[in-house]
Chain A
Amino acid sequence: MPEVVVPIGPHHPALKEPVNFRVIADGEKIVRLELDLSYNHRGIEKAAEQRNFIRVLPLLERVCGICSHSHATAFAKGVEEIMGLEIPPRARYIRTIIAELERMHSHLLWLGVAAHEIGFNTLFMWSWRDREAVQDTLEEMSGNRVHYGMNEIGGVRRDLTPAQIKTALARLPDLEDRIQKYVGMVNSEETMLIRFRGVGKMSREEALKYGAVGPTARASGVDYDVRRDDPYLAYDEIPWKVITDNHGDVYGRTRVRVGELWESTQIVRFCLENIPAGPVRVEAPKNAPEGEILSRYEAPRGELAHYIRTNGTDKVERIDIRSPTLANWTSVAMCLTGQNLADIPVIVAAIDPCLSCTCRMVVVHRRGGRAVPGTAAGESGHDPKSRQDGWRP
């Protein structure tokens, strides 16, 4: 049977974000997946080089609307390390609380979307309703539902009042109840078991070979979490454990994420109860000394890496963002091979793809059709020569 190309996207009812899949199928079986990730490329890395440290944090938060605190913290953490700043313990705890609340809202969101992809809309509604409790807590603490704006170089911008801590703690028991229910549901609900088991299998060796990160890798038995292996913020002072699973399929990824939800509630509870007193920020110098650093952070979707190079001014010389979704795409392409066409939404949703973090550009010269090397995220997008060649639509 001849192979058929099924194009999906960039605007498609099943997609929440613009991406173009070219699925090469042989009958019902998928042979190969080709991806175009460039639709949302905005040129943030180039813009970050032109703004000082105060102005660049709001920009980096808006790399992604779901893990916005991750990007800002990864950057602030890196720059603080270059400057040799030690932030106060209370600031570290507040950053940890926001980070774990963000993980909770992201995982609840994912659980809903995954349930929606298998047609289990009841769970979609339930998990998104519970997510609103997390959103309310975040809104009380930071003033905004999505982009929190909590970070600055040298600490956090807002302190937590005793009243805020009290209401946040009062919301937790209800949430814990619901999450316990989801933990039970994932293991017993027939709809999910039938649809998730054995779909998108990936062994431990394959996960390591294709460089999967985060819950995707941990579901294949890779025992790796930046929070434990390269501790930052307050994670080395908190009792918690890394959730792993050895199923390696979508079922395993669901189990890992629901388990992490539970761990996150416990981390938030511990931090709220044991938050140290003191100031929330130290004054940071205007300029950073010359240096470079790879700042790692465990975002809800996996390991996020910010490569930062400074040159003694109040701006970065180069920042390169490697988001977790970019690392996971290769494993998706591998998982999809040999699966049914109908499994595409489930397998793609299982890595919790976030395309606005991920968008990369390849500039192709019109004459000859060769790709310009090293064009990930806008290096030669600024090259005036390539503009004359007419890459601009």
Chain B
Amino acid sequence: MAVPGNGISRRLVSWARIKSPWITVYNSGGCNACDIEIIACLMPRFDVERFGILVRGSPRHADILIVTGTPTLKQASRLRRVWEQIPEPKYVIALGACGSSGGVFRGLYQVVDRVESVIPVDVYVAGCPPRPDEIINAVVRCIDLLREDTAHGGKEWRQKKPLPAPVPGEKSPAEVP
């Protein structure tokens, strides 16, 4: 997608990306539980490295950003900056109830309710916290998305279309008796 040229070099890069997605984790104000479960994914029982999934510290090396916790007001701008540093194509996983919807912290004075209101999210994972196998499943889902996006030539095909502008004079279906 973002690779210049076409043909063999582009196919090679996207093949490599699908085989070994690199991940960076950002704690945007969570309670630590999700982060601990992500580290548990790296450990002998789950061991995601055998699938080629590597956890990296720098967002500039990453393909997938996992965001844990509901972003606090202080972290929101930093989360945005971390996201901007990731090269395209990038995918975002909102982990846990907090990342998806705010969870138990929804509506507190110091939080932005969900990750979605700061950066676009591709995969949501439910649970408080999600089990390590659910986290692995989310990463696999990201790889599926990456494969579909490569076939479509970009992310645009699955983005929500804006509602059509109302035609003046025409009644909406709800108003028709």
B21 within 8 Å of A (CB atoms): no
Q: Given contacts A18-B27, A39-B72, A42-B108, are A393 and B33 in contact (CB under 8 A)?
A: no
Contact with A along B130-157 (1 / 0, CB 8 A): 0100000000000000000000000000
User: Which one of A62-70, A226-234, A243-251, A343-351 contacts B?
Assistant: A62-70
| A129 contacts the other chain (CB 8 A) | yes
The answer, yes or no, to whether A163 is at the interface (CB within 8 Å) is: no
Residues of B34-77 at the interface with A, using a CB-CB cut-off of 8 Å, are 34-37, 39-40, 43-45, 56-59, 69-70, 72-77
Q: Which of A41, A64, A65 contacts B110 (CB 8 A)?
A: A41
- B69 partner residues in chain A, CB cutoff 8 A: 40
Question: What separation, in Å, do the CA atoms of A80 and B94 have in the docked complex?
Answer: 37
A132 interface neighbour in B26, B43, B78, B103, Cβ under 8 Å: B43
Complex CA distance for A39 and B29, rounded to whole angstroms: 7
In addition to A39-B74, A63-B31, 11 A-B residue pairs with Cβ atoms within 8 Å of each other are A11-B59, A17-B32, A40-B30, A43-B110, A62-B104, A65-B32, A129-B45, A145-B129, A355-B32, A361-B110, A378-B109
B105 within 8 A of A: yes
Question: Which single member of A17, A68, A145, A378 contacts B35 (CB below 8 Å)?
Answer: A17
Whether A42 contacts B34 by the Cβ 8 Å rule is no
Asked if A168 is at the interface of the complex by the 8 Å CB criterion, the answer is no
Interface size on B, residues (CB 8 A): 41
User: In whole angstroms, what is the CA distance A356 to B31 when docked?
Assistant: 5
A382 to B108, CA, bound (A): 10
Q: Chain A: interface secondary structure?
A: loop
Interface residue tally of chain A, by bracket? 35 or more
Q: Does A201 contact B (CB under 8 A)?
A: no
Instruction: List 17 A–B pairs whose Cβ atoms lie within 8 Å, in order of A's numbering.
Output: A18-B28, A39-B29, A39-B72, A41-B72, A42-B72, A43-B108, A46-B109, A65-B30, A65-B34, A65-B36, A125-B44, A128-B43, A144-B128, A146-B36, A356-B30, A378-B109, A378-B110
Instruction: List the 10 closest A-B pairs by CB distance, nearest first.
Output: A13-B57, A65-B33, A65-B32, A128-B43, A43-B110, A146-B33, A65-B31, A43-B108, A129-B44, A62-B31
Residues of A within 8 A of B128 (CB): 62, 144, 147
B129 touches A65 (CB 8 A): yes
| Distance of A225 from chain B, by nearest CB (Å) | 24
- Please state if A128 and B39 are interface contacts (CB–CB under 8 Å): yes
CB < 8 Å: which of B29, B31, B78 contacts A11? Answer: B78
Where the two chains meet, the residues of A that have a C-beta atom closer than 8 Å to any C-beta of B are 10-14, 16-18, 38-44, 46-47, 58-59, 62-66, 68, 109, 125, 128-129, 131-132, 135, 144-147, 354-356, 361, 378, 381-382, 392-393
Chain B residues near A378: list those with CB within 8 A. Answer: 109-110
With contact pairs A11-B78, A64-B32, A109-B36 given, residues A132 and B104 touching in the complex (Cβ less than 8 Å): no
State A327–B78 Cα separation when bound (angstroms).
27
Interface centre among A18, A42, A43, A44 (most CB of B within 10 A): A42
B111, CB-defined interface residue at 8 Å: yes
CA distance A145 to B130 in the complex (A): 9
Distance in Å: Cβ of A158 to nearest Cβ of chain B:
17
Report yes or no: B45 in contact with A11, Cβ–Cβ below 8 A: no
A59, B102: Cα distance in complex, Å: 12
- Residues on B with C-beta less than 8 A from A47 are 105, 108
Given the known inter-chain contacts A10-B78, A128-B43, please indicate yes or no for A354 contacting B32, CB distance below 8 A.
Answer: yes
The answer to whether B29 touches A40, judged by C-beta atoms less than 8 angstroms apart, is yes
In the complex, are the beta carbons of B108 and A46 less than 8 A apart? yes
Chain A residues near B56 (CB-CB < 8 A): 13
Question: Judging by beta carbons under 8 Å apart, are B43 and A125 in contact?
Answer: yes
Q: Quick check: A62 and B105 within 8 Å, CB to CB?
A: yes
- Are the CB atoms of B105 and A42 closer together than 8 Å? yes
